[in-house]
Structure 1
Amino acid sequence: MATNRALAYLESKKNLAGSACGVAGVALTLTGLAGTYWPVVVAGLYGAGALIAPPERVAAPSFPDPREQLGALRRDFDTLADYIKEVDPAPAAAGKLTELMALYEALLDPGWVADVLATDPEAVHRLARAIRQDLPESVDTYHRTRWWNRLAPGQESPDRHLERQLGLLYDEADRLTRDLRESESRRQQTHTTYLEDRDRS
C-alpha cells in the first residue's frame, strides 16, 4: 500500500512540478548564482513547485446510466408480473391491479416514452420504488391479512384495503405520467420560442 502511494506520488503533478523547479535550482547552482546554500535553494524551489502545482483530480464515482437503470427495472417488473399472476383478489381490486400493471408496462416499454422517462431521475426513482417496494408490499400484506381474516372474520375486508392501495399507486403513476407529458410540452414550447426568436433576429 505504501509502495503504491509512493509510486503514485512520483507520477503526480506535484512531484513533476517540484522536480522541474528543482532542476531550475540545479541550473542556478551550476551558474554559480545559488552560492554555498545551493542545497537549500534546490530544496526550496522543489517545495515551491510542489505547493503551486494543481491537486490531482480524483475520479468521480461511476453510477449506472438512467437507461441502464431502466433495463434493470424492466427485469424487476417482469419478475413482479410473474408474482402478480399468482394473486387472486376480488374483481374490483383485480381490475385496478390490471390497470396499474398496464400503466407501468407502458412507461417501461422500450422506445421514446422510456427515453423521456430516463431523462428524469426522480421519475425513475418513483417508478422503481413503486415496482420494487410498494406494490409487492401491498400484495404480500393482502395475502397474509386475507389468511388471518379467514381465521377471525368480521374485520375490514383485505380486498378493500388492497383496492385503496392500488388506487393510490395508480394515482401516483398517473401523476408521474402527467409530469412527463408536461415536461415534453415545455420542451416543445421552448423549441417554438427558440424558432420564433431566431426568425426575428
Structure 2
Amino acid sequence: MASIGIIEDDRSISELVKRTLEKSGHCCYQFFTGEEAVQGIKKEQLQLLLLDVGLPDSDGFLLIQRLPKLPTIYLTARDEITDRVKGLQLGAEDYIIKPFAMAELLARIDVVLRRYYPCDNWIELEEQIRVNLEEKRIYKETTELFLTTQEFLLLEALLVNKNIALSREQLLDIAWGIDYLGDTRTVDVHIQRLRSKLGLSQTIKTVFKYGYRLELE
C-alpha cells in the first residue's frame, strides 16, 4: 500500500480521510497548512498527495508548484469548471469535489497509484488466491480463474475498499456506474457468484440490511 500526504486544514475531514485510508492499508501523514506541507513532505517518502485548494495560508493552485512532483489529487469545495481545468493543467491527476464519498476517493486513489506504481499489482487473498487488478487476472495457486467483466469490477470495488462496509447502492455506483438503471438485487446475485467461484464465503461478509465488506488483514 502507499504512503499518502493529506494537506487539509479542516481537521475533521483530515481525520476521516486518514482513518479511511489506514483501514485500507495506506500510511498517512497529515499537514494542516501549506508551510507544514512544504517543510514536512521533504522529510517523508510519499507516493501520493491529497491537496485542498483553500488552505489558510496558501492557495492550493500555487502550493502544488512548491511541492515535490508527486501524483496529486485535489480535494476541494471549489466546483467551478475553470478551477477543475486549472488544477488539472497544473499537473494534478484528479480533482474531487467536496463532499465526496469515501468509496469514490479510495477508487480514484487506486487508479492513480496503479498508473504510477504498476509493480504492486498482485493482491493476496485467502484460499491461496492472487488478484492482479491491472491485468484483470486471478489465480488460485497455479490455476487461473475466470470471472465475467461485471464480476471482476465488483471484486475490484471490494478490494479497493477492503475492510470497509459498502452499501448495495455504493457498489452499484462503483461497479456498474451511476447511470445503471437496475436494482440492488443484482449486487446480491453477483456477490453469490464471487463467493462460489473464488471460495470467499468467509471473506466477503454480509453487512445486515446494508451491503457487503471484504475482510482482509
Q: TM-score per shorter chain, which class? A: under 0.3
Structure with greater strand share of residues: 2
Larger radius of gyration: 1
Higher helix proportion? 1
User: When the two structures are superposed, what TM-score results if normalisation uses the length of structure 2?
Assistant: 0.22
Q: Which has the higher contact order (CA 8 A, sep 6+)?
A: 1
After TM superposition, the score normalised by the length of structure 1 is 0.24
